[in-house]
């Protein structure tokens, strides 16, 4: 089984080593399997308010969350990537950058910054680091949602299917991420507001962002 060519802004999945499931022959089947795995993580963390114990926001948990989202499908889920990707920092910088993100998160919280802005910035920096071989966009959006839910906020209901395919929503999303790279968070904040319970109510599934 060979995946379809990556769409713009997507990490190519050229290496299928580590695929746990036999019988996967098409990208649609792979997407469906990943969607079911992600759904389990959504139920665990977003069905009820997570606690500091269940979602401690420390380095091991950041990796564990990715493993919980994709570990039924990929053996490498939750393991930091060792290779270069078309997005993200260099592999040897990942762990240090993640620790710095956690320090920033505590500083943002202590500074009086609004919860929604904290989530936007967390989402963006996690995408920017791109710690794993794949699934980084979905993991980053989930990470921000768990932060929101843990602190009494409303998780963002991202249209994951649309974000994961060539669409105007995906293009708007990628443009917002690029603007945030230049320290302009307005567009990404607007998307958080757009899908914050008032936008589409898609179930997170097989997009490759």
Q: Is the dihedral of CA 158, 164, 166, 170 positive or negative?
A: positive
- Predicted local confidence at residue 10, as pLDDT: 60
State mean pLDDT over 181-203. 81
- Predicted local confidence at residue 9, as pLDDT: 58
Task: Identify the residue with better confidence: 205 or 42.
Answer: 42
Q: CA-CA distance, 141 to 138, in Å (whole number)?
A: 5
CA atoms within 13 A on the CB side of 22: 0
Fold of the CATH domain 34-155: Fic-like fold (1.10.3290)
Q: Where are the domains of the chain?
A: 34-155
Question: Is 80 exceeded by the pLDDT of residue 5?
Answer: no
Split at pLDDT 50, 70, 90, the class of 148 is very high
Q: Contact, 207 vs 169, CB < 8 A? A: no
Task: Identify the residue with better confidence: 6 or 156.
Answer: 156
**Percent of the chain surpassing pLDDT 70:** 87
- Predicted local confidence at residue 105, as pLDDT: 98
Query: pLDDT digits over 157-167, tens only?
Result: 999 989 988 89
State mean pLDDT over 59-88. 97
- Predicted local confidence at residue 8, as pLDDT: 59
State mean pLDDT over 149-176. 94
- Predicted local confidence at residue 201, as pLDDT: 39
Q: How would you classify residue 26: left for phi > 0, otherwise alpha for psi between -120 and 50, otherwise beta?
A: beta
Q: CA-CA distance, 147 to 105, in Å (whole number)?
A: 10
Q: Facing residues of 74 across strands?
A: 19
Taking the whole predicted model, whether its pTM rises above 0.85 is answered as yes
Q: Residue 189, Cα to own-chain centre: how many angstroms? A: 16
- Tally helices (H) and strands (E) across the chain: 8, 0
Question: Is 80 exceeded by the pLDDT of residue 197?
Answer: no
Q: How many CB atoms lie within 10 A of CB 98?
A: 20
State mean pLDDT over 116-125. 98
State mean pLDDT over 192-206. 59
Q: Contact, 204 vs 42, CB < 8 A? A: yes
- Predicted local confidence at residue 1, as pLDDT: 42
CA atoms within 13 A on the CB side of 176: 22
- Predicted local confidence at residue 112, as pLDDT: 94
Closest Cα to residue 87, out of 7, 151, 10, 176? 10
Split at pLDDT 50, 70, 90, the class of 41 is very high
> Over the chain, what is the mean pLDDT?
90
Question: Is 90 exceeded by the pLDDT of residue 200?
Answer: no
- Predicted local confidence at residue 15, as pLDDT: 74
């Amino acid at each position: 089984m060979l995946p379809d060519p990556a769409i713009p802004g997507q990490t190519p999945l050229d290496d299928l080593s580590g695929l746990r499931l036999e019988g996967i022959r098409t990208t649609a089947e792979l997407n469906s399997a990943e969607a079911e795995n992600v759904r389990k993580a959504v139920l665990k963390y977003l069905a009820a308010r997570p606690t500091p114990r269940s979602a401690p926001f420390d380095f091991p948990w950041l990796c564990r969350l990715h493993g919980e989202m994709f570990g039924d499908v990929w053996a490498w889920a939750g393991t930091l990537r060792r290779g270069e990707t078309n997005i993200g920092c260099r592999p040897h910088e990942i762990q240090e950058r993640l620790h710095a993100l956690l320090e920033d998160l505590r500083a943002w919280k202590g500074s009086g910054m609004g919860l929604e802005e904290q989530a936007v910035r967390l989402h963006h920096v996690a995408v920017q680091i791109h710690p794993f071989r794949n699934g980084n966009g979905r993991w980053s959006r989930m990470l921000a949602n768990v932060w929101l839910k843990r602190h009494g906020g409303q998780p963002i209901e991202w249209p994951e299917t649309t974000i994961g395919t060539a669409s105007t929503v995906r293009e708007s999303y990628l443009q917002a991420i690029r603007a945030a790279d230049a320290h302009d968070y307005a567009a990404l904040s607007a998307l958080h507001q757009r899908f914050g319970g008032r936008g589409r109510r898609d179930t997170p599934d097989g997009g490759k962002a």
